[in-house]
Structure 1
Amino acid sequence: MLKTPIARGVALATLGATLAIPTMAQAAFIEDTKASLELRNFYFNRDFREDPGQSKAEEWAQGFILRVESGYTEGTVGFGVDALGLLGVKLDSGKGRAGTQLLPGAYGAGAPDDYSELGLAAKAKVSETVLKVGTLQIKNQAISSSDSRLLPATFQGGQLVSKEIEGLTLDVGYLNRHNWRNSSNNEALNWGGKSATVADTESDSFTFAGGTYKLTNDLTAGYYYSNLEDIYKQHSFNLVHVLPLGDKQSLKTDLRYARSTDDGSNSNVDNKALGAMVTYSISGHSFGLGYQKMSGDTGFAYVGGSTDPFLVNYVQINDFANADEKSWQARYDFNFASIGIPGLTFMTRYLSGDNFDRADGSEGKQWERDMDIGYTFQEGALKNLNVKWRNATSRNNYNRGTNIDENRLIVSYTIPLM
């Protein structure tokens, strides 16, 4: 349900007052509380090349992201609460231009003037183990909340993270609802993968268990098991090695492998996903080469909605994860701090994929070119204000509706409140 601005203000003010009442908790609960307000202004323009239906998606919106993380009460078990307040305000849209996922509403339906959500999570801590239950933002090999639009996506559920052993992080979770990045409603989890037949795309739950272990100072290994109930099961492996090569030089290798199979008779998921990214860095320059290969009867398996699949070739528009698809990536980054201009960064990459089937049985092909330029002001009245321009071009021979020219302009500023 969309809330009025007055209702939102009352809800957020009530939250702030609750956290400020000393009788609610011991001193550490209040003293260790952190709060910030991010102001995010987002312009999105997507031109659908040669598409006979919608010619473009274009919207402009202002986002407000309030994050409050309390400290913990004293004692063997410490208790606390986190809060996430989200508000999106339409600045410009239209029925013939909607569908950017900055705002609710699809092409032909238009977008509301605003939308919002207030999420709370209770938490408990014992030593170096933390349990959170409620509204969660999660980022791991199994599932990742997308934050690539105006407001971040969230989940409802519970997550336990333990760091009792040095270098080892254990991570277990159960999720049963999902709030998309352009929605104020928690909805059922759903299938979002490629090329598989799924009879019922909705699922009652998503569970995951895994973690990462720092084998050496330069080598980290990760493993996760996950299950979207009645749809798919997945084993995900990750190995990251950073080799120092001398003064301001390094070679980073990121290897990923996932095996996905169906769960029950509701789907026919069968996928092996192999990915590798090698990046050589020297001073402010980074040169990367990536390769990704899908094998099996279907494409990559992941939760739908607003999630980011754990793939080396998942980029601004495409994921290059169709059944049997092979793709490669060339990437270049430059940090201008190395030549005396701190805060200015540049990235460009090119990806090409092929070897997957079109509807008529012929070979499918696609490519994408991306470019990011960002600057964070270092001093003066605009200190910490970040401006980013993201440009992308995507072409393929199998779906005219995804031949795209795209621009995103994002201006963000975070205000520390506590």
Structure 2
Amino acid sequence: MKALINCPWLFSLGSMGMLLAGVSQAALVSDSTVTLTSRNFYLDRDYKGETPYAAAREWAQGFILRAQSGYTEGAVGFGLDLTAMVGLKLDSSPDRTGTQLIEFNPVTRKTRDEYSELGTTLKAKVSKTRLLLGTQFPSLPVITASPARLLPQSFRGVYLLSEDVPNATLHAGRMDKVNQRDSTDYQPLYIASPNGRFTPGASSTQFDLLGGDYRWSPSVTLRYFHAELSNIYQQDFAGLLHALPLGPGKLKTDIRVFNSREDGRAEAGRVDNVSAGAMLTYQIGPHSYGVGYMRQMGDTAMVYLAGGEPVVLSDGTMSADFVNPDERTWALRYDYDFAAVGIPGLSGMLRYLHGSHINLPRLGGSHLSESSKDLELSYVVQSGPVKGLSLRVRQNFYRNDLTAAATFRSDNETRVNIDYTWKLW
């Protein structure tokens, strides 16, 4: 991984070379696409108990334009992708900012009326191997561009994706900057440190990743990834996905294990964590019943990049991450597809998580606990002039017995999303 080409040099001369060599031809390729996504997002986080802020409550409108070219003809094909994003404030106030929907001044806490950004990705393709250079939206266990707010998080770097090996998908890359969900500029990479887990302020401009998925059989997929944030942490991920026909339904198994430790000068402090979790889901007709367990082992919490969420059992939880030191988490989940009762496009989800044995002496003790109750309804219009319009309503009730100084505080949270995508080309 250390031998990957230096990113800043690539972004200058190398990028221009690819652009001039191929983009004029790529624009003529028939499989180019242009889409425009409208996202209306309301987030209301009502804090309970002793808290410095009573609420974080904002409403915003976003637009995401994605233009993806095809590839030029020949042994090596070239192309160009563009992503333009705009966020517009609909409602906010200095006393209830902090939803990460809208960029705001940390001193005055006044939000901007609008913010925008443009991302470019130069690409080259040989057979089933693609090289992407520029703006990246990775979705991997060790690095994920979080889509959980108005505009998605993005990274800057070089990324290699190959499907030339039979039954395998291989990934390699180096990222040097991140553009957060409520930001307009690229910044160095740093780790999330809620509840004061790690030394604040430590950052790096070198994140390397290597790994892949291997389809052992039609029902079994094995996963492994290695990641390094230079002089901060290293992380290995191993996973297993398995689907087994069982009686009238299907049993799905999802196992995820992360092993994290400090790297080099350990500028964010000690990192020593193994996070192991498993989720078993039995699907029968429109019903899905899930039960899972996750445990944090080692001297510290799990480490992950700031601005997003860890890809663990609690992935998708709105108010906390459930990866504190020594934490043990149980999860129960139920999903239902209302197509079974004549309402196609409507689905619902109920989930309960309970974490115990949290070891945070500065925030209340060594046997602390937290819990989350999540409810979700989503509907996608199935036909007519607005086919594909989606509405999602989520309600979360989060409680813990940590002190008021904790990053994650007891709250009731509501999120409403209305999304629609036009295919322009």
Map 1:223-234; keep pairs closer than 5 Å: 223-234=224-235
Alignment match, 2:166 = 166
**For the structure 1 residues 214 and 94, does the alpha-carbon distance in structure 2 shift closer, same or farther, using more than 3 Å as the test?**
same
Q: Deviations over 1:271-325 (max 9, x none)?
A: 01100000000011000001000000001011112x2312112322211101111
2:386 corresponds to: 382
The 3 A distance-change label for structure 1 pair 44 and 200 is: closer
Q: In 1, distance between residues paired with 2:392 and 2:403? A: 29
Segments of structure 2 that go 5 or more residues without pairing to the other structure are: 1-18
Equivalent residues in 2 for 1:49-68, closer than 5 Å = 49-68=48-67
SS in 2 for 1:25: helix
Counterpart of 2:246 in structure 1 is: 245
SS at match of 1:147: coil
Which secondary structure state, in structure 2, belongs to the residue aligned with residue 26 of structure 1?
helix
Secondary structure, in 3 states, of the residue corresponding to 2:339? helix
Matches within 5 A, 1:112-151: 112-151=112-151
Aligned alpha-carbon RMSD (Å) = 1.8
Which stretch of the first structure deviates more once superposed, 126-135 or 308-317? 308-317
AA in 2 matched with 1:417: L
SS of corresponding position for 2:49: coil
Label 1:27 to 1:268 Cα distance change in 2 as closer, same or farther (>3 A). Answer: closer
Off by >6 Å, runs of 4+ in structure 1: none
Q: Tell me how far apart the structure 2 counterparts of residues 326 and 297 of structure 1 sit (CA, whole Å).
A: 14
Output one character per residue of 1:165-208: Cα deviation in whole Å (capped at 9) or x when no partner.
Answer: 22101000100000001111111100115664437521121110
Output the CA distance in 2 between the equivalents of 1:338 and 1:29.
44
Residues 94 and 196 of structure 1, relative CA distance in 2, 3 Å threshold:
closer
Which residue of the partner structure matches residue 3 of structure 1? none
Q: CA separation in 2, counterparts of 1:210 and 1:380?
A: 43
Q: Deviations over 1:70-99 (max 9, x none)?
A: 000000000000111100001111111111
- Of the candidates 347, 365, 368, which is equivalent to residue 372 of structure 2? 368
Q: Please tell me the residue identity of whatever aligns with 1:268.
A: R
Matched to 1:392, the amino acid is: N
Taking the aligned partners of 1:31 and 1:364, their CA distance within structure 2 comes to 58
Whole-angstrom distance in 2 between the partners of 1:50 and 1:317: 15
2:4 is matched with none
Query: 1:166–1:48: structure 2 CA closer, same or farther, 3 Å change rule?
Result: same
* Aligned: 1:276 with 2:268: no
Q: Quote the residue 2:420 is aligned against.
A: 413
Give the deviation of 1:30 after TM superposition: 3.0
- Provide the rounded CA distance (Å) in 1 between the counterparts of 2:243 and 2:27: 38
Q: Distance in 2 between matches of 1:198 and 1:97?
A: 27
Distance in 2 (alpha carbons) for counterparts of 1:157 and 1:254: 29
Counterparts in 2 of 1:244 and 1:88: CA distance versus 1, 3 Å: same
State the 1:133 CA deviation: 0.5
Identity of aligned residues (%): 40
> Within the alignment, does 1:235 sit opposite 2:242 as a pair?
no
- SS in structure 2 at match of 1:402: coil
Deviations 1:219-248 (A, max 9, x none): 00000000011110011000010012355x
Aligned twin of 1:319 = 321
Amino acid at match of 1:100: T
Matched position secondary structure for 2:29: helix
Q: Secondary structure at the match of 1:172?
A: strand
CA spacing shift, 1:106–1:389, aligned 2, 3 Å: farther
Q: Secondary structure at the match of 1:383?
A: coil
Structure 1: give runs of 5+ residues left out of the alignment.
1-18
Of 276-285 and 394-403, more deviation after overlay is shown by 394-403
CA contact (8 A) 1:313 1:328 kept: no
Q: TM-score, normalised by structure 1?
A: 0.91
The one-letter code matched in structure 1 to 2:368 is G
Structure 2: which amino acid aligns with 1:120? T
Superposed displacement of residue 399, structure 1: 3.6
Equivalent residues of 2:357, 2:366 under 8 A apart: no
